[in-house]
């Protein structure tokens, strides 16, 4: 088995693979205050809950956008999983040609998503990841990572609105039943949710004008299904895209 870690600013998604089959996965809160032992005990508990043995783990791979956690997670993997993890970053083979001005600036999560999407769906592609930030990544038909866009995520945008406007309450991120809000909460839901639908459609439409061919659009991340239901521009929803990309990169580098 191999264990994959997708470390985001808000959550860490942990997956366990047997060859190319995802056995299980968990989503836990990112906590930069936790030590390697605390993470190790948590991972051990998750394995035990699913009836899995940590001794059966042959390798691990980590993609992280939280640099301060990397040393703790590497130490956790070495002590509790018994292996030094592959850390996605410069020098790690991914099979793509990175055409960014400075390839080292591309977030590991964006590279991992691009690897998975290109191998699963072919190119050209636009990948939209609804995470702490909403990211848009473009991959050419020849497997070149061309770049993309980064926008504030839905949750942090909503939090900013609530924190800066004292009379506005926190809301659930659900699609409203009407475009005309009849109360404050519904009005906020209209503005936030359909505002993001409009943002996604606008960026995708403009990107397509600059991409040769007919790019497919892949959505991933926690709110992907909610947004995708409101637009015809998203072709596929792939909730485990990042985990799949981590597995692929591990397989590419393990030799």
Catalytic residue among 6, 20, 37, 109: 109
Contact yes or no for 90/104 (Cβ under 8 A): yes
Angle subtended at Cα 110 by Cα 88 and Cα 152, rounded to the nearest 5 degrees: 130
Adjacent-strand bridge partners of 150 = 135
For residue 230 the two structure tokens come to 């409101």
The DSSP output letter for 140 is: -
**Cβ 148 vs Cβ 135: under 8 Å:** yes
Task: Tokens for 19, please give them.
Answer: 């060859």
Q: Which position has the token pair 């990309």?
A: 245
Q: Which residues, other chains included, contact 114 with Cβ-Cβ below 8 Å and sequence gap of 6+? A: 96, 125, 127, 137, 139, 145, 245
DSSP for 175-200, written as a single string: --SSSS-SSHHHHHHIIIIIHHHHHH
Q: Rounded CA gap, 151 and 206, in Å?
A: 15
The token pair at 100 is 């960014």
Task: Clarify whether 251 is annotated catalytic.
Answer: no
Annotated catalytic residues are: 109
């Amino acid at each position: 088995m191999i264990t994959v870690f997708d470390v985001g600013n808000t959550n860490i998604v942990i997956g366990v693979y047997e060859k190319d089959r995802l056995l299980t996965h968990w989503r836990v809160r990112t906590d930069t205050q936790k030590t390697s032992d605390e993470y190790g005990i948590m991972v051990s508990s998750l394995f035990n809950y699913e009836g899995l043995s940590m001794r059966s783990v042959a390798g691990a791979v980590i993609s992280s956008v939280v640099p301060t956690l990397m040393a703790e997670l590497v130490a956790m993997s070495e002590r509790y999983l018994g292996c030094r993890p592959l850390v996605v970053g410069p020098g790690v083979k991914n099979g793509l040609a990175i055409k960014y001005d400075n390839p080292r600036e591309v977030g590991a999560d964006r590279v991992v998503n691009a690897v998975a999407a290109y191998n699963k769906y072919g190119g050209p592609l636009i990948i939209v990841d609804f995470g702490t930030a909403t990211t848009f990544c473009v991959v050419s038909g020849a497997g070149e990572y061309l770049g993309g866009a980064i926008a504030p995520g839905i949750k942090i945008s909503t939090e900013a609105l609530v924190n800066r406007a004292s009379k506005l309450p926190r809301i659930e991120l659900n699609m409203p039943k009407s475009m005309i809000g009849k109360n404050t909460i519904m009005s906020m839901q209209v503005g936030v949710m359909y505002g993001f639908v409009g943002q996604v459609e606008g960026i995708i439409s403009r990107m397509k004008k600059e991409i040769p061919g007919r790019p497919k659009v892949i959505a991933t991340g926690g709110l992907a299904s909610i947004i995708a239901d409101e637009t015809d521009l998203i072709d596929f929803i792939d909730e485990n895209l990042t985990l799949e990309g981590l597995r692929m990169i591990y397989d590419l580098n393990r030799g």
